[in-house]
Copies of this chain bind each other. A is one copy, B any other.
Amino acid sequence: MPSNSKIKFDRSQALKAAMMVFWKKGYGGASLSDLTEAMGINKPSMYATFGNKEVLFVKATEHYVESVDLVHRQQLLAVESDLPTRLKAYLSSVISGQCCENTPKGCYISLCVSEAEGECIPQTAVAKIKEVSQFAYQALVDVFTHDEEAKQRNLHVDAQLHARFLITFLSGTAAMARAGTGQEALLPLVTQAMKGIGL
């Protein structure tokens, strides 16, 4: 009976490496050479394992959402804190991630959404990136709509407006971080953004 575990390289580590390359260079800017070199494998191995560049990008995008994006959003649900604290923690967490030294600057999703409008990316990749780009907005809308404290503060009446403002703010910090602005300059902006929604 042949054992089914003959993998010579760590698949999830390779996926993480691919995610880093896409995060830094975008879809079009990441060549197969860039990707396979970072993953520590060569092209036929990549093809056998993931299919092609397009599905590799989809897998890398899902990995980003689960391993990076999701962590920040959990700050919104910390039951022991009041709403302003949770929102501030969420915004600060995202910004810190955008400025982290161990990862490319900015936001993987923002970068690829931007690139997607240039019509240089395959269909399924565009669909995936557009899908995940809604998650953060939807999470904020849910908070403003259903959270008890949010209702008390009357934030549920313009839930979409408030969510859109914060997402716009975070898209802005992503662009600023990508351009080189550090978190010591971006974190103070959180207070101003909170003022924008009346908190």
Contact = CB atoms under 8 A, between A and B. Distances in A.
A169 B173 CA distance: 8
Interface stretch (A50-58, A60-68, A107-115): A107-115
B25 A119 contact: yes
Contacts of A173: 168, 172
Interface in A6-43: 24-26, 28-29
Number of copies: 2
A189 B168 contact: yes
Interface residues of A, number: 46
A28 to B, nearest CB: 6
A118 B161 contact: no
A46 interface: no
Interface of A: 24-26, 28-29, 104-106, 110-111, 113-115, 117-120, 130, 133, 161, 164-165, 167-176, 178-181, 185-186, 188-189, 192-193, 195-198
